[in-house]
């Protein structure tokens, strides 16, 4: 029996829990919700407590409360902490669902940066977690159109979440059959939270809010 853990927040993390719980020979062992949880999305803690009462909840939000090797599968879905090597090295499959194209949009706030850069394509990527920032081999990706002339960050975020649900549904049941594909380091760009002041009017959910 494969034991799985989900780390993250909101509706997308709930969908990952649902998908994992439905997999054969797999049990949703542990869930680590972000702490604090956002007030603009559903509570992962409340959903897990109601739907999977036998699943362990790590309310501190700290991945270090997972015993290394306890879970065969760890899935990060919009998790807000960097996972360290003690968990990475001890987990057979440890993956992340990233709301941006890789390797061009590693790191923080990929939706904001894609609109700031005037992109007309955005994406969601599921990749293996390694010691770098969103630098592990790619397991699956989806690309979709965005329109920076009219789209707000909120619009592209919502679109990303819809595509991410489908991608998780496709990738998670096939993990044992997928061969990860290395990223092209020559195209890699990493954005950090400390650079957010360069986002200009793309720093908030809408351009109007950014101009307050």
| Tens-level pLDDT at each residue, the chain (212 residues) | 999 999 999 999 999 999 999 999 999 999 999 999 998 899 999 999 999 999 999 999 999 999 999 999 999 999 999 999 999 999 999 999 999 999 999 999 999 999 999 999 999 999 999 999 999 999 999 999 999 999 999 999 999 999 999 999 999 999 999 999 999 999 999 999 999 999 999 999 999 987 65
Same domain, 87 and 163: no
Same domain, 191 and 109: yes
Q: Whole domain around residue 56: which residue ranges? A: 1-91
CA–CA distance, 178 with 192 (Å, rounded to integer): 30
CB 189 within 8 A of CB 132: no
Same domain, 3 and 66: yes
Q: The domain that contains 132 carries what CATH number?
A: 3.40.50.170
**140 closest CA partner among 87, 102, 197:** 102
- Does any domain span residue 171? yes
Classify residue 23 as exposed, middle or buried by CB count within 10 Å of its CB (0-12, 13-18, 19+). Answer: middle
The whole-model pTM stands at 0.96
Same domain, 156 and 142: yes
Same domain, 87 and 149: no
């Amino acid at each position: 029996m494969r034991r799985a853990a989900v780390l993250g927040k909101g509706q997308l993390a709930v969908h990952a829990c649902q998908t994992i719980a439905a997999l054969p020979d797999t049990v949703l062992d542990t869930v680590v919700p972000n702490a604090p949880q956002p007030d603009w999305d559903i509570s992962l803690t409340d959903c897990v407590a109601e739907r999977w009462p036998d699943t362990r909840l790590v309310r501190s939000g700290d991945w270090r409360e997972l015993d290394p090797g306890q879970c065969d599968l760890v899935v990060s879905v919009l998790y807000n902490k960097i996972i360290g090597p003690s968990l990475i090295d001890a987990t057979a499959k440890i993956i992340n669902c990233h709301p941006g194209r890789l390797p061009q949009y590693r790191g923080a706030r990929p939706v904001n940066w894609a609109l700031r850069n005037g992109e007309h394509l955005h994406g969601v990527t599921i990749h293996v977690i390694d010691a770098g920032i969103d630098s592990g081999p790619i397991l699956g990706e989806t690309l979709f159109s965005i329109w920076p002339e009219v789209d707000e960050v909120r619009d592209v975020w919502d679109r990303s979440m819809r595509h991410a649900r489908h991608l998780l549904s496709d990738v998670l049941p096939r993990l044992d059959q997928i061969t990860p594909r290395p990223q092209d380091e020559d195209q890699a760009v990493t954005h950090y939270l400390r650079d957010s002041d360069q986002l200009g009017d793309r720093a908030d959910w809408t351009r109007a809010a950014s101009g307050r």
